[in-house]
Amino acid sequence: MSEDLTRWARAHLAAWDQQQAAYINRREDRFAVMLDVLTEAVPADALVVDLACGPGSISARVLDRFPEMTCVAVDFDPLLVELGRQALSGHGDRLHFQEADLWDPAWTQVLDGRRPHAVLSSTALHWLPADVLARVYRDAANVLEPGGVLLNADHLRQPDGRPLFEELSQRDDAATQARDQAAGALRWDTWFAELVAHPHFAPLAPEQERRFAHRPPNPDLSLAFHVSALRAAQFREAGPIWQHLDDYVVLAQR
């Protein structure tokens, strides 16, 4: 692994965090709440699954805060997984990236029989249709240690006859993007174009396109659906632990 590649990957991961924060107001507040739950709810040497991890933003924060924890970061996007592998290689054996498709019930095989103490996800599970999401929650419940926790941070948007709520959320999104992009955050398409233009990552672009070519659009499932699906998956507690307008952190305990 070349030092130049590692340095570029780290810089592009930092740019990822900046562009994601432009689309998610108070993104770091979300992460802080999730890590605070880990402090109270799991062992100091917990195994954490970073589900639909992208380039590993959750894993990076978990490993920086908790020196005894380990993470398995799982995603189906080969470009983002490879970016995470390169950028976060300094964590060594404490972090393992695995490619797996959440649409396939066999995705849990990447754990090799290990039982995590926590499953965390951010801004990702909203892409799953209702039946797949409900099954993923059941999968997570089946692999978690008893008493383990699942935390999902996401925009949960579903217009339900509350136009003021929807309008406030849309205005907040627009103001956050305008502020952060004026300060230098890249737009998503610009950030992605820079990634696929790099000679190390460019060969992965056709496979990434193939994998996601026929996935359906975002189904916009509500907070109530997520909570109901978690309870149906036999989590003994489930509900929102943090909220900013239509942005939530949902907590469930096995």
Per-residue pLDDT band for 159 (boundaries 50, 70, 90) equals: low
Per-residue pLDDT band for 248 (boundaries 50, 70, 90) equals: very high
For residue 244, CA distances in Å to 3, 29, 103, 172 come to: 40, 10, 29, 10
pLDDT at residue 158 greater than cutoff 80? no
Cα 244 from Cα 154, distance rounded (Å)? 10
Averaged confidence pLDDT in the chain:
96
For range 56-82, the mean pLDDT: 98
User: What order do you get walking across the sheet with 95-99 strand by strand?
Assistant: 95-99, 70-75, 47-51, 118-122, 149-155, 247-253, 237-244
Quote the pLDDT of residue 1. Answer: 56
Quote the pLDDT of residue 220. Answer: 86
The domain made up of 3-253 has a fold known as Rossmann fold (3.40.50)
For residue 179, CA distances in Å to 22, 184, 193, 212 come to: 8, 9, 22, 31
Q: SS3 for 212? A: helix
Bridge partners (DSSP) of residue 238 are: 252
pLDDT at residue 152 greater than cutoff 60? yes
Q: What are phi and psi of 252, to 5 degrees?
A: -140, 145
For range 41-51, the mean pLDDT: 98
Domain boundaries, the chain: 3-253
Q: If you ran DSSP here, which 8-state letter would residue 249 be given?
A: E
- Residue 123 Ramachandran class (φ > 0 left, ψ -120 to 50 alpha, else beta): left
Q: Out of 29-33, 140-144, 217-221, which region has the weakest mean confidence (pLDDT)?
A: 217-221
pLDDT at residue 224 greater than cutoff 60? yes
pLDDT at residue 160 greater than cutoff 80? no
For range 153-180, the mean pLDDT: 91
Task: Provide, rounded to the nearest whole percent, the portion of the chain with pLDDT above 70.
Answer: 99
Q: Out of 35-39, 158-162, 167-171, 201-205, which region has the weakest mean confidence (pLDDT)?
A: 158-162
Q: What is the pTM of this model?
A: 0.96
